[in-house]
Amino acid sequence: MKFYSHGKLLLTGEYTVLQGAQALALPTKQGQSLTVTASEDNALHWKSYASDGSCWFEAVLGLDHFSIIQSSTPEIAMRLSSILKAVRQQNQDFCRQGTTVTTQLEFDLQWGLGSSSTLLANLSQWAGVDPYQLLKISLGGSGYDIACAQASQALFYQWVEGTPIVESTPFGPPFKEELYFVYLNQKQDSQKEVAAYQKKAPDPALIASISGLTQELVLCETLTSFMAILHEHENLMADHLNRVRIQEERFSDFKGCVKSLGAWGGDFVMACGGSPTYFKNKGYSVIRNYSGFIL
C-alpha cells in the first residue's frame, strides 16, 4: 500500500487561524509518500528518506505498545511512537502484524512544508482514522496543514465551534508569476510557536479583520491591490504579536512586498514584485516561483 499527501503554505491567517480566523492555505506540488509492506518478524521496521535519497531516520518498534527496540535518533523515535499510539487509540486493529514502512520526502526536511502533517495525513489514510482527531491528540495545531495534505487547489480554512471548515477556492491571480517564495535559511519550531500563541486571549476584532482580508485577497485583480492587503495583514499581525515585520527587519530596501508565511521568523516568506536576484544577492538560494511550487 502506498499513500501520499501534499505539503502546505499558509498565505493568510497565521496564528489567528488557531482562534477562528479564516485563512487562505496553499498545497504545494511536493509532498511525502508512505509505503507499507508486510514483514516476517513481529515488529514495525521504519525508514524515512530525505528528498536527496538519504535515509535520515530509521527505527524498529514493538507492535504491542510501539516500544522502541532500536533507532537512529531516540528523540524522533519517541515522537513517532507517541503518534502511532495516538493512531491506535482510534483504531485498535492498527499495525498488529509485522510491517515495514518507508516514507519519502519530496521537499527538504528543513523547509517547514509539512513533514509532520503529511506523515499524520498518510498514517490516517493507512489506518482509516480521522486526521484532525489524530492531530489533536498528538502534535496539536490548527489543522490547515491536514486540509492541504489531500487538497487539489487553494483552500479557505477555519475552525468553527470545534469543527474544521474547508472550502476549495480557485486561486490563481493574473499576476501569479510575480509571486515567489523564499526560504529564510532557518526552520521555525511551529509547535513551540503554536503553544505560545494559544496562551494569548483571542482578539475578536483582529480575527474578523484577518478573515475579511483573506476574502479580499482572493478577489484581487492587480498586484498593487494584492500587496496593499498583504501590507495591512502584516501590520495587524505585527501590532498583535508585538514583533517587527520581516520586510522591515531584513528587506527594508526591497521594491515590493514581503510577507511572512506561517510562524514568523523562519521557513518561507512570499515576495511580490521586485526581482528574485535581490534575495540571491542577500544569500537566500532557495527561491521558488508560484507555478512551479504551488499545486
The CATH number corresponding to 172-293 among 3.40.50.20, 3.30.70.890, 3.30.930.10, 3.20.20.70 equals: 3.30.70.890
Q: What is the pLDDT of residue 188?
A: 67
Cell of 115: 513533514
- Angstrom CA distances, 23 to 87, 142, 153, 157, stand at 27, 10, 14, 5
Supply φ then ψ for residue 51, to 5 degrees: -65, -20
Q: What is the pLDDT of residue 61?
A: 98
Mean pLDDT in the chain?
93
Cell of 84: 502511532
Side-chain-side CA neighbours of residue 121 (13 Å) = 23
Q: What is the mean pLDDT of residues 38-42?
A: 92
2-167 CATH fold: Ribosomal Protein S5; domain 2 (3.30.230)
Q: Which residue has the higher pLDDT, 191 or 149?
A: 149
| 49, 104 Cβ separation under 8 angstroms | yes
pLDDT tens for each residue of 73-91: 999 999 999 999 999 999 9
Q: Is 172-293 the same fold as 2-167?
A: no
Alpha-carbon gap, residue 20 to 159, rounded angstroms = 5
Q: Is residue 116 scored above 80 in pLDDT?
A: yes
pTM for the full predicted model? 0.92
CB under 8 Å to 76, separation ≥6 — which residues? Answer: 57, 59
Q: Which residue has the higher pLDDT, 193 or 210?
A: 210
Give domain limits for the chain: 2-167, 172-293
Cell of 180: 515567489
